[in-house]
Structure 1
């Protein structure tokens, strides 16, 4: 209520003068130091070292000017906002007092209208049938005024805390404005609303966040035929499942994410897809019987990740496929009976992954596959081939592209380049 906010404007004016003065000093330094010593008369390693140091000094003058002008702007905006909010508190108190309420120094309101009555009027009022109701209404109104004033005071305090955050951030040299940390803030924000925004508050979900899924089905038997019609491909699926178990989970902490999946299956299946649709042409048939198992682990930290996968198969399988759609172009064939063990691994950077696979076979067979396809929003390119008269194996490679991760990585890189370009621009400007 009684705070004098005018010193904020006085301080703002001084900081503005300081910013202008830093600009003048920058010009003096360029003319009398940088340009004077860069006239060609001084050459050698000492001159080169001086130029690097001089560039840092000139950059600091630019950063100092930016910081000082930002603080000046913040102080001016702080005066306007705090004055506005202080007036709201004063107006509320004045309105309450005009309506026969008293506001004490802590902001608590009490109705004093009854005190204006004469002793006889007060005594008559206390004996009136509706006095309890009138007293309750007065207490309710007083509490509403108390709550309203408290809310207005909180608004002042929140604005004051925002100003504190903004000034602290503006005066913190966390950016490398002068070839090093801890100097003047070359990126000081002069907008109070942006610079004074609260920090992210830590919640109970911070730290490790764990998620998991588990699914088990079987035994089961069935078939689902469907002929080609109305632009849809024909399909057939027949299966005898003894069991199918899948477990997957992830644990994340900040930029670090660990995830894995385990899958086990035993049974026999046969599928076929064929036909022409608006999406393309499909011809595919596959049969298999036996046991399969898969385990995969992934580690990701920001845009960088790696994965490892192992698979096992015991049984017989055969397939032939050719598919050409907007999301897939693949050709392949395989026939095998026996046991397989597969290992795969790779790395991923900014949504682009590179991996390799290798299989060991015990049993006769041959297979080849080539193409690309889109699964769960991720593009996969790859090829593998192998043969085994009795013992052998196959090898292949795989490349993955995740458009969402790639877009985010490019966005972050653009932001970083923009920040660096801004610093370079100011430094180069100081040389010219």
Structure 2
């Protein structure tokens, strides 16, 4: 949400400086912890008295811990630097807005709470002076000139406010990126960011929306990250809207996602990835003229997934990979014009799996295979239509006393693609028939 004039004028930016100092001290403390851990744990156990597989596993884990302490220091120091730069830049731009307002007021223009300037230089005139002014032949011209200048002040103030908002968004992007670990260092993805950028000018740049390359490829992509965050919400009942109740609560350690695509004529390559760590629970129930639906879910742990797809005209192939460690449970049921959904699951442990599939002309099929380490069970049957109008039919069954897994199958039908394929085929047949007819005519 963009900052407005009131936000800019009333913001207290001094806390950014205080928080920056706290992050700097945190970075120093992480450095001290790293040194203490290396000296009193890693080195103490590596004195040669302990050997074997268990020792090797412990040292590998200790090395990862040392790397995370170092990464935590780097991340904290980078955030401290970003907050310092952000404080300086936002303070400078906020002062520019206030300077505009002060200059306008010195020239008898009043600026209201929304940043609009109005000329008030005539307000303090005596009755005789006001009478004389109203009968001055140039009075209409004076009023028009005052309105034009007032609009000029309003525009300048609004431009200065937009500059503050742009800087604020830059600081937000930089801080979000600093907390995302995209390397395999330490414990791997999802740890502290050892490569966090502390230069606001570099880290706060907007994501490129799209670019066209010389070979004809066009790329598009976006990414986002958030956390830590704790929140909850509850709504309902709303009988008019068909909502019985809806509630959600989460405590996120971190969340990140990215997606992108490359397109060149009929060929398109696309993919995405996302990761989450934390806890969340939700429940909802609705009934409308399109059907009824109810669901409840709970999750604690971490999960990550990646997907990719390649399309060439009407033919496409896709793949997905997913992993999870933690505990989850849920159930859902619904029926209506948009499809049917039934399912329930409960699991604690770790799981990983993938899916492969293909579609031709808008009709596709795929299979899913998962391996589970931990007790759990799952069963689902879904038939629904997504926001793009594509119908998905899938089933999945899994069980694991301690070690086990799940298998699933899915089918998709995209009516729009099917219609396009049929239309293209009809056009091709028409062209072929026309060519044959022309050939026969030429013979005779």
TM-score (norm 1): 0.51
SS for the counterpart of 1:276 is strand
State the 1:376 CA deviation: 2.9
Match of 1:386 in 2: 398
Match of 2:411 in 1: 399
Equivalent residues, number = 230
Distance 1:381 1:331 in 2: 12
- 1:194-273 alignment to 2 at 5 Å? 207-229=216-238, 230-233=240-243, 234-273=245-284
SS for the counterpart of 1:408 is helix
State the 1:404 CA deviation: 2.5
Distance 2:443 2:289 in 1: 61
Gaps of 5+ in 1: 1-202
Match of 2:380 in 1: 369
Match of 1:350 in 2: 361
State the 1:430 CA deviation: 6.8
Distance 2:256 2:286 in 1: 32
State the 1:328 CA deviation: 2.5
Gap change, CA 1:412 and 1:363, over 3 Å in 2: same
State the 1:420 CA deviation: 1.2
State the 1:232 CA deviation: 2.6
Distance 1:256 1:352 in 2: 18
State the 1:277 CA deviation: 1.6
Distance 2:280 2:249 in 1: 6
Match of 1:165 in 2: none
Gap change, CA 1:296 and 1:204, over 3 Å in 2: closer
2:432 to 412, 415, 420: 420
Instruction: Tell me whether 363-372 or 229-238 shows the greater mean CA deviation.
Output: 229-238
- 1:312-351 alignment to 2 at 5 Å? 312-351=323-362
Distance 2:213 2:370 in 1: 45
Given that 1:313 and 1:341 are in contact with CA atoms closer than 8 Å, whether structure 2 keeps it comes out as: yes
Distance 1:276 1:257 in 2: 39
Gaps of 5+ in 2: 1-211
Given that 1:385 and 1:394 are in contact with CA atoms closer than 8 Å, whether structure 2 keeps it comes out as: yes
Structure whose CA Rg is larger? 1
State the 1:275 CA deviation: 3.3
- 1:26-105 alignment to 2 at 5 Å? none
Deviations 1:154-174 (A, max 9, x none): xxxxxxxxxxxxxxxxxxxxx
State the 1:349 CA deviation: 0.8
Distance 1:325 1:309 in 2: 28
Given that 1:310 and 1:343 are in contact with CA atoms closer than 8 Å, whether structure 2 keeps it comes out as: yes
SS for the counterpart of 2:425 is helix
Distance 1:238 1:213 in 2: 26
**Does 1 or 2 have the higher relative contact order (CA < 8 Å, sep 6+)?**
1
- 1:95-134 alignment to 2 at 5 Å? none
